[in-house]
Amino acid sequence: MDISKTKSIAMLQSNPAPFDARALQEAHSLAKRGYRVTILVWDRCQDKTQETPRRRRYSDGVETRTLRLAIPPREPILVVPALFVFYAWCSIQLIVSSFDVLHCHDFDTLLVGFFAKFVKLKSMKLVLDMHDLPESWLWLFPLTNLMQHWVLVFTKDLVDLTIVVNERVISYLGAFGFQREKMVSVMNVPSLTEGRGHERSESGFSLVYSGDLSEERGIPLMVDAIAGLSGITLYLTGRGKLERWLCDLEERYSNIKFLGWIPNSDLNALVNKADLIPCLYAPTSLNREFSTPGKFFISLSRSIPALVSSGTYQAQYVEEFGCGIVVKWNDVQELRETVVNLATNAALYAKLADSAFQAFRSTFNWEVMETRLLGSYVRLLQPSQTNS
């Protein structure tokens, strides 16, 4: 008998968005394999027009249950108590319903997993889907590095499976005692069906950045390098502490376009017309150093050369697959010269674009990652079948 048909999974997701693409993509893949998947999600959105339904069922059986609790972004004083309301709501859902696996997306939901292990639901398998290292939220506390060490050591023996975003994180966690056979790398990559060739626009060269608008993501670096360049336009969209600065800056430079927060449909249309999607993360923390963001893989899937910072794990992929260019972090002149060269050297651009697409087709696509995810779930649940 196919064990997946008798197993149900609860996913916990506390992102400010109703749920991120990674969680939903994994849920649909597991449902396709026959698992029953329910996503318990916290919708923090303050815009009433963008609220998600309290319950939604997709055609493949994936169900979402939503706790609506709006709070302003980046307000720790409000986020922390609201997070504990979310924990309580999830715990009630787990007690009322019956689940075989609790799949926690990131450390901020793992406290519910510990509750499930120790209090009521000891037979439930616990999966940690680690999008980031715990330092992403431990900065709120003193002695962040020591706290991260303690959290990882405490976690390693409690989780039954750890899903991480790349092999670099696996090697890092190994130093804390995480067992290699209980870890799997599942990257946040597009499906092969989303891949396409790229046609350069004759009207100019465009860069598109979407995401956190902060210095750590290279926003001022990009602006300084691109401002005033003829025939080259930088489009910026997202949220973050540099929003007001970008609004003021747009009036000074005609080739810097700040679009604010835009719907996914508009963002996808913008990305599909981009000639370059910069991923200039500052290698100043482990999370940014290890990061392989979704925009990096989207770039490859659109036959767009990757532009990344030295000292990051992304740079190793670029050098291995020849799918882009690595620039020194915070070197404005080198970045400016690199962008101008890509905009004017058609032969170089075409070579890098072809390598980018080949890397996507061979390695960085969801079909490859789906096989890893499903294989890890079979191994996770196989002992249950043996013992039954």
Residues 177 and 271 in one domain: no
Residues 207 and 83 in one domain: no
Q: Output the pLDDT for position 187.
A: 96
Residues 152 and 216 in one domain: no
Give mean pLDDT, residues 215-225.
96
Residues 150 and 62 in one domain: yes
Could you tell me which of 50, 55, 59 has the C-alpha nearest to residue 263?
Answer: 50
Could you tell me which of 308, 332, 333, 304 has the C-alpha nearest to residue 319?
Answer: 308
Q: Output the pLDDT for position 8.
A: 94
Q: Are 73 and 44 in contact (CB under 8 A)?
A: yes
Is the pLDDT reported for residue 388 higher than 60?
A: no
Domain span holding position 21: 3-189+365-387
Would the CA dihedral through 26, 13, 312, 147 be positive or negative? Answer: negative
> What are the angstrom distances between the C-alpha of 169 and each of 130, 162, 288, 374?
9, 11, 12, 20
- Per the structure, how many domains does the chain have? 2
Residues 244 and 99 in one domain: no
Give pLDDT tens digits for 222-271.
999 999 999 999 999 998 889 999 988 877 899 999 999 888 889 999 99
Residues 244 and 126 in one domain: no
What pLDDT band is residue 123 in, cutting at 50, 70 and 90?
confident
Could you tell me which of 118, 117, 3 has the C-alpha nearest to residue 387?
Answer: 3
Least confident stretch, 142-146, 206-210, 264-268, 384-388: 384-388
DSSP class of 285: S
Would the CA dihedral through 62, 68, 72, 78 be positive or negative? Answer: negative
197 vs 192: which has the higher pLDDT: 192
Residues 13 and 145 in one domain: yes
Q: Output the pLDDT for position 98.
A: 83
What pLDDT band is residue 387 in, cutting at 50, 70 and 90?
very low
Residues 56 and 71 in one domain: yes
Residues 219 and 173 in one domain: no
Residue 184's SS3 state is: strand
Residues 246 and 97 in one domain: no
What pLDDT band is residue 140 in, cutting at 50, 70 and 90?
low
* Cβ contacts of 224 within 8 Å, gap of 6 or more: 332
Q: Tell me the average pLDDT of the chain.
A: 89
Q: Which two tokens stand for residue 252?
A: 């000074």
Q: Please list the alpha-helical segments (H only) found in the chain.
A: 21-33, 76-96, 110-115, 135-138, 144-156, 167-174, 219-226, 243-250, 264-272, 286-290, 294-301, 313-321, 332-344, 346-362, 366-387
95 vs 188: which has the higher pLDDT: 188
What's the start-to-end Cα distance of the chain, in Å?
12
Write out the H or E segment, with its range, that includes residue 46: none
Give pLDDT tens digits for 25-66.
999 999 999 999 999 999 887 665 566 778 899 999 999 999
Query: What CATH number should be reported for the domain holding residue 50?
Result: 3.40.50.2000
Q: Output the pLDDT for position 49.
A: 55
The pLDDT > 90 percentage for the chain reads 68
CA–CA distance, 239 with 259 (Å, rounded to integer): 10
Give mean pLDDT, residues 269-298.
94
Residues 284 and 382 in one domain: no
Is the pLDDT reported for residue 5 higher than 70?
A: no
CA angle 144, 146, 152 (to 5 degrees): 100
Residues 144 and 43 in one domain: yes
> What are the angstrom distances between the C-alpha of 293 and each of 281, 296, 314, 347, 364?
9, 6, 9, 27, 12
